[in-house]
Structure 1
Amino acid sequence: MKLTIERAALLKALGHVQAVVERRNTIPILSNVLITAGSEGASFAATDLDIEIQESADATVEREGMATAPAHTLYEIARKLPDGADVTLELAGDDPRVSLKAGRSVFSLPSLPPGDFPMMPSEDLQTRFAVPSEALARIIDKTRFAISTEETRYYLNGIHMHAADEGGRKTLRAVATDGHRLALAECDLPDGAGGMPAVIVPRKTVQEARRLLEDAGDEIEMSVSEGKIRFKLGRAVLTSKLIDGAFPDYERVIPRDNKNTMTVDNKRFAEAVDRVATISIEKSRSVKLSVDGGVLTLAVNNPESGQATEELPADYAHDAFTIGFNARYILDVASQIEGDEARLHFADPASPTLVTDSGDADALYVLMPLRV
């Protein structure tokens, strides 16, 4: 194998694929990137056995073939090469090392047999459709903060995606929850997505797909089966296993009859919560919200650090009400609100609160209260 590739193209491809490679691997080949030189140029692939990313790149191929090289080392070399450099990668004959040459720089890197590199089959991806990159990025951004990090509840360690039909409108819906908060966002259902199975996309896959969306162009292709999902993002293809589990019936968690609505300036609300939470107890981060008429009072009482209160104007025309929340969860939700105002819909101090966005009718959030 021998190919020559421009440094920027090499760096972009390696930057995309090497991100899935774990820093520590018990299986040596998983630390390597697979380099393929073919008639259409070069391609690079990396995997952790759950996720695989492949990316093609323009290159001058002198001799077709395949080789593997340490992913992170190769990326760091490419990153430190001068702009505009032409990089030659070569695996010659029985030489067990990959040669990299750029100008006067020469590197010799250990290689493992390409035949040992595990490729992820994806022939069984029955449902295929195209979705606008902006729409997919939006529903990911508005939900991924609520993904659970608790490994014992593995079925919450991702975003639940499925085709929904509510009130006659068909949507592609994304939902995430960690049991303390829930986030839901949806977009118009793409043509061909009606038959997709309901799936749970793992956290790491969500993060990698969102990162690749930055260079994906206006539209991406998605393919889905019961066990795998694939995103074709420009010249990159991400294939991933799905979480094998049942996502809880989230519809039961979303309150539909919370009639006590408070409207508040979202930016001022978030800043005030952040200020009073400075002295909150680190474990619970609890903040008490008391609303009466046109005044919302935020309060924190920490026996060790002291007390804090702040008042904000609010639009509220119901009986006086007090409820507590984790400040970090409030701030996470507030950061996703696009409109100037956030609307909090209350039932009682022990029931979930529904949060809606004045600027986005296709997203909602649920916060579980704390005792304060």
Structure 2
Amino acid sequence: MKFSISRDALLKPLNLVAGVVERRQTLPVLSNVMLVLEGSQLSLTGTDLEVELVGRVPVDEAGIDGEVTVPARKLVDICKSLPEGSDIAFSVEEGKATVRSGRSRFTLSTLPAREFPSVEEGIGTQQFSLKQGQLKRLIDRTSFAMAQQDVRYYLNGMLLEIRQEQLRVVATDGHRLAMCTFPEALSGQQDTQVILPRKGVLELARLLLAENEEIGITLGSNHLRATTGEFTFTSKLVDGKFPDYERVLPRSAEKVVVGARLDLRQAFTRTAILSNEKYRGVRLKLSEDSLDIVANNPEQETAEEQVPVEYRGDGLEIGFNVSYLLDVLGVLSGETVKLSLSDPNSSALLEEAEDGDSLYVVMPMRL
């Protein structure tokens, strides 16, 4: 196997593919990246048995076709350390891979490509496509609410649901829920629900760099595949039943508060400084056209903020984890935000005051 390619052309797909590869592996071949040369196209593959990523890049000078696996991190570090604009000549002889550039020469150990695990082919039952920017918005607006290492393993991921030709993405960790709906109809799609694992969500989000280019999504019974011209991403799905999120959405929230998003975000950021470091609780006191935010901690220190809001109705006092509120205010856009409440023991519903595509539910705290 032999080819040459510019450093910059190789580094972009190599970085993405190496991101999937875990540092500590049970199988030695899993810490390697597989290189396959066919004609003038080089494919790079990395996997951790849950997520697989294949990047494709044309080589400058095609030599001898072949396939081999080399240590992922070392190859990335070598490419990064070479000067910008340099060319790399890659060759494999007698089980060793040689990387040459200018006056530098590196010899890397290899493992045979036949030992490299691959995800099964023919996985898809449903296919649709959308713009990369649209998919990135769906992920960015909800992924912060995914659970981390929860025993309810189906919460350590994100629900992708197609219902009545509408694509919806939902994430929850039991304390808060985020939901974003794709505004355009996916015609001809049957109803389905799949749970993409946390690592799959985060890796997929890293790939969505070209906003206006299409990305094709294929859903199977236990895999999801995303394809563009430059890469193919495959992830196993979480085998489990996602909770019925519709039941969580507050239906009878009659106390509606409308406030400036940035003002609220800054007020919560300031009061958070003196909240309990472990529980992060803040108290919201609602009265006509005014919202008081109060935080205190075990050292008897207090922070108070008063934010003007639009509100008509009875007073209310309710506690929240301030981190959850800040997460939501961080992903919402638009000038104003709408907060719907009913009583101190019921969840709050947050959304953009103008028609938005996202809904957020945050559970209250007893303070």
Normalized against structure 1, the TM-score is what? 0.95
Aligned to 1:342: 337
Offset from partner CA, 1:309-361 (integer Å, 9 cap, x none):
11110111010011110010000000111111111101110011111112452
Alignment of 1:101-112 (within 5 A): 101-112=100-111
User: Which amino acid in structure 2 is aligned with residue 90 of structure 1?
Assistant: S
Offset from partner CA, 1:26-53 (integer Å, 9 cap, x none):
2100000000111242110010001110
Aligned to 2:145: 146
- Going from structure 1 to structure 2, the CA distance change for 1:196 and 1:110 (only over 3 Å counts) comes to farther
Aligned to 2:161: 162
Aligned to 1:43: 43
User: Which amino acid in structure 2 is aligned with residue 329 of structure 1?
Assistant: Y
CA distance in 2 between counterparts of 1:225 and 1:112 reads 31
Verify the 8 A CA contact 1:291 1:297 in the aligned structure 2. yes
CA distance in 2 between counterparts of 1:193 and 1:247 reads 24
Deviation at 1:124, TM superposition (A): 2.2
Q: Which moved further from structure 2: 227-236 or 137-146?
A: 227-236
Alignment of 1:352-367 (within 5 A): 352-367=347-362
Verify the 8 A CA contact 1:129 1:193 in the aligned structure 2. no
Aligned to 2:123: 124
Verify the 8 A CA contact 2:134 2:211 in the aligned structure 1. no
User: How many residues end up aligned between the 2 structures?
Assistant: 366
Q: Which moved further from structure 2: 225-234 or 282-291?
A: 225-234
| Same amino acid, percent of matched pairs | 38
CA distance in 2 between counterparts of 1:111 and 1:363 reads 48
User: Which amino acid in structure 2 is aligned with residue 3 of structure 1?
Assistant: F
Deviation at 1:151, TM superposition (A): 3.1
Aligned to 2:194: 199
- Going from structure 1 to structure 2, the CA distance change for 1:140 and 1:360 (only over 3 Å counts) comes to farther
CA distance in 2 between counterparts of 1:164 and 1:189 reads 12
* Runs of 5+ unmatched residues, structure 2: none
- Going from structure 1 to structure 2, the CA distance change for 1:5 and 1:217 (only over 3 Å counts) comes to farther
Aligned to 2:221: 226
Verify the 8 A CA contact 1:67 1:111 in the aligned structure 2. yes
Aligned to 2:53: 53
Where 1:151 maps in the other structure, the secondary structure is: coil
CA distance in 1 between counterparts of 2:29 and 2:153 reads 27
CA distance in 2 between counterparts of 1:234 and 1:249 reads 36
Deviation at 1:82, TM superposition (A): 1.3
Does residue 257 of structure 1 match 2:259?
Answer: no
Offset from partner CA, 1:252-281 (integer Å, 9 cap, x none):
001122111011111011111111111111
Calculate the aligned-residue CA RMSD, in Å: 1.4
Alignment of 1:161-180 (within 5 A): 161-165=160-164, 170-180=165-175
Deviation at 1:196, TM superposition (A): 5.6
Where 2:123 maps in the other structure, the secondary structure is: coil
Which of the numbers 296, 308, 324 marks the counterpart of 2:291? Answer: 296
4+ runs deviating over 6 angstroms: none
Aligned to 1:268: 263
Q: Which moved further from structure 2: 300-309 or 280-289?
A: 300-309
- Going from structure 1 to structure 2, the CA distance change for 1:114 and 1:329 (only over 3 Å counts) comes to same
Deviation at 1:150, TM superposition (A): 3.1
Normalized against structure 2, the TM-score is what? 0.97
- Going from structure 1 to structure 2, the CA distance change for 1:8 and 1:340 (only over 3 Å counts) comes to same
Aligned to 2:82: 81
User: Which amino acid in structure 2 is aligned with residue 204 of structure 1?
Assistant: K
CA distance in 2 between counterparts of 1:152 and 1:326 reads 21
- Going from structure 1 to structure 2, the CA distance change for 1:96 and 1:190 (only over 3 Å counts) comes to farther
Which of the numbers 329, 346, 349 marks the counterpart of 1:351? Answer: 346
- Going from structure 1 to structure 2, the CA distance change for 1:360 and 1:106 (only over 3 Å counts) comes to farther
CA distance in 2 between counterparts of 1:142 and 1:41 reads 35
Offset from partner CA, 1:170-224 (integer Å, 9 cap, x none):
4210000001100000113554562263100111111111110014752111100
CA distance in 1 between counterparts of 2:118 and 2:225 reads 14
Verify the 8 A CA contact 2:145 2:172 in the aligned structure 1. yes
Verify the 8 A CA contact 2:131 2:211 in the aligned structure 1. no
Aligned to 2:205: 210
